[in-house]
Amino acid sequence: MTDIKLLEHLESYLTEQRQEKFKKVLAQRTKHFTVATEDVYQLHNTSAVIRSCDVFGVQEVTIIEEKNTKRIDREIAMGAQKWVDLNRYHSVKSALKDIKSKGYQIVATTPHETDGLLDDFDVTKKSCFFFGREMDGLSNEVIDAADCFLKIPMVGFTESLNISVSAAIILQHVTSKLKQTSIDWRLTEQELLEKRMDWCKKTIKSYDAIVERFYENP
């Protein structure tokens, strides 16, 4: 459980503007939707997906690095990795197991004709959107585990979009549509407290020393 008194003490080290920004952003955060990238080769693509998740209020991102293991490109993510929770896995199997255990349906994003259209997607279902490798797309393991398939309507000669662009389009659409429903999509009170504490830790340079002094002088 979050120590409320410690949290309030830590937040006193933040400016009022920063405190308000935290509360405003957290009020729009959700775990109703999440995103997973599978062995994306280009580092900037994963980083850009994380940035889109932050922009559209998706709190958690799963990064599967079974073949391609790289650090997040901080410049492209624009600091978004500080505010979004990253769950990293070295196997598709373990990622799928954990995601399903949290109650998410697996949504495979592919450009195939038989897939469901974005406009028809049921946003009331807790969903994890999977995005695959730049050239090969999603693995058969993800395809076989998918509960449904999703594509963005396209009318040009090009049959697919860059994954970071696809993620941004899908997330903007589903989060906007979600907020028009009566679904309780926001973070729980406990999750809000935990993120406030986490963001304090990531923001205050002397965090450890302040915490130590707080408990030494109750």
Per-residue pLDDT of 126-168, as tens digits, reads: 999 999 887 778 999 999 999 999 988 887 877 778 889 999 9
> What single-letter DSSP state applies at residue 118?
G
Residue 78 pLDDT exceeds 60: no
Q: Using the predicted structure, report yes or no on whether residue 73 has a pLDDT greater than 60.
A: no
Beta bridge partners of 34: 128
Q: What is the predicted pLDDT for the residue at 47?
A: 87
Distance CA 189, CA 170 (A): 27
Helices (H), 4-136: 4-11, 16-26, 43-55, 74-77, 80-83, 92-101
Q: Which pLDDT belongs to residue 74?
A: 61
pLDDT at 44: 81
> Can you give the pLDDT at residue 80?
75
Residue that is written with structure tokens 């990293």 in the block: 88
pLDDT at residue 162, rounded to an integer: 85
Q: Which residue has the tokens 């028809």?
A: 120
At 33-59, the pLDDT tens digits run: 999 999 886 778 888 899 999 999 999
Alpha-carbon separation of residue 57 from 124, 171, 185, 189 (angstroms): 16, 9, 11, 16
DSSP string, 52-82: HHHHTTB-EEEEE-SS------HHHHTTHHH
Separation of alpha carbons 110 and 137, rounded Å: 7
Provide the pLDDT for residue 114.
67
DSSP letter, residue 39: S
Domain segments of the chain: what residues? 1-27+189-218, 30-185
Please give the pLDDT value at position 218: 65
Nearest to 61 by CA among 87, 29, 100: 87
Return the pLDDT at 91. 93
Tell me the per-residue pLDDT of 85-141, one tens digit each, with 9 for 90 and over.
999 999 999 999 999 999 999 999 987 656 788 999 999 999 999 998 877 789 999
Structure tokens at 94: 């373990």
Structural tokens at position 196: 């406030």
Does domain 30-185 fall under CATH 1.10.238.10? My reply is: no
CB of 58 within 8 A of CB of 34? yes
pTM of the prediction? 0.91
pLDDT band of 173, cuts 50, 70, 90: very high
Mean pLDDT of 172-176: 98
Q: Residue 58: phi, psi to the nearest 5?
A: -85, 120
Residue 70 has pLDDT above 80, yes or no: no
3-state secondary structure of 34: strand
Residue 43 makes CB contacts below 8 A (sequence gap 6+) with 70, 71, 72, 73, 76
